[in-house]
Amino acid sequence: MSESRIIVALDFDNAESALNLSKKLSPQLCRLKIGKELFTAAGPSIIEKLTHDGYEIFLDLKFHDIPATVAKACKAACNLDVWMINVHASGGRRMLMAAREAVPAHSTRLIAVTVLTSMDTQDLVEIGYSIPPQEIVLRLAHLTQSCGLDGVVCSAQETTLLRRELGVDFCLVTPGIRLANGESHDQKRTATPQQAIQDGAHYLVIGRPITQARDPYQTLHDIHNQLDLNQIIFKTTP
């Protein structure tokens, strides 16, 4: 089992590209994330191939449907022997509880998405939210924790607040990670790896800064070495 906090996002549209990239990395230095694009293109077999190579998989399908459907989807995902799956916290309490009941405790980790890191205040206003993103994230994170899930996906801008409010054991998975002086692309709430860990993230989802690097392994290795892998130092005061 990897002890790394780095989750590399395999944002590819075919299995060959994903597998080629995985061979340039190391299961000792990272876990891998399979999202909707790759899973739709390659199916469950891509998970089997990557786990055979020693990787732990975060299956990032963001289930969001009526409670019974989400429960069945979560159960099916667990049967793929993945390390982590997720649902949308905005699906509400009944959906979150159904997901929790479908996923045995201490097996596959079950987390919830709060607010997508591609969204800012204006985006949220357009879909009917009149409160700041951090407040929405905090409400959804409290709901997720009260339903017994293991953690949430949140941007680095919310990690300090959530760590203070929800305690050190609640898992925070942070996408939108960019290297210093790197491009933000379509992410609007970003942070560097070091800042995200300092602010309280457990795991960092990193895609293009690694997958599009000239030397993906060296970039992964450098990030891994820059992080304090032996101790998480969270900010617990404002």
According to the 3-state scheme, what is the secondary structure of the chain? CCCCCEEEECCCCCHHHHHHHHCCCCCCCCEEEEEHHHHHHHCCHHHHHHHHCCCCEEEEEEECCCHHHHHHHHHHHHCCCCCEEEEEHHHCHHHHHHHHHHCCCCCCEEEEECCCCCCCHHHHHHCCCCCCHHHHHHHHHHHHHHCCCCEEECCHHHHHHHHHHHCCCCEEEECCECCCCCCCCCCCCCECHHHHHHHCCCEEEECHHHHCCCCHHHHHHHHHHHCCCCCCCCCCCC
**Which portions of the chain are predicted below pLDDT 70?**
1-2, 181-190, 228-238
User: How much is the pLDDT for 84?
Assistant: 98
Asked whether residue 167 is domain-assigned, the answer is: yes
Q: Where are the beta strands (DSSP E) in the chain?
A: 6-9, 31-35, 57-63, 84-88, 109-113, 151-153, 171-174, 203-206
Q: 52: domain CATH number?
A: 3.20.20.70
Q: What is the pLDDT of residue 232?
A: 46
Domain that holds residue 161: 6-226
Task: Give me the pLDDT at residue 1, please.
Answer: 61
Count of domains observed in the chain: 1
- pTM over cut 0.85: yes
SS3 229: coil
- Residue 236 inside a domain? The answer is no
pLDDT tens-digit readout, 158-212 = 899 999 999 999 999 999 888 876 554 544 456 889 889 988 999 999 999 999 9
Contacts of 130 (CB under 8 A, 6+ apart): none
91: in domain: yes
- Asked whether residue 233 is domain-assigned, the answer is no
- pLDDT of res. 46: 98
**pLDDT score for 105:** 84
In a domain, 196, yes or no: yes
Report if residue 74 sits inside a domain.
Answer: yes
As annotated, the active-site residues are: 62
Alpha carbon distance 167, 150 (integer Å): 12
Is residue 238 one of the residues assigned to a domain? no
In a domain, 122, yes or no: yes
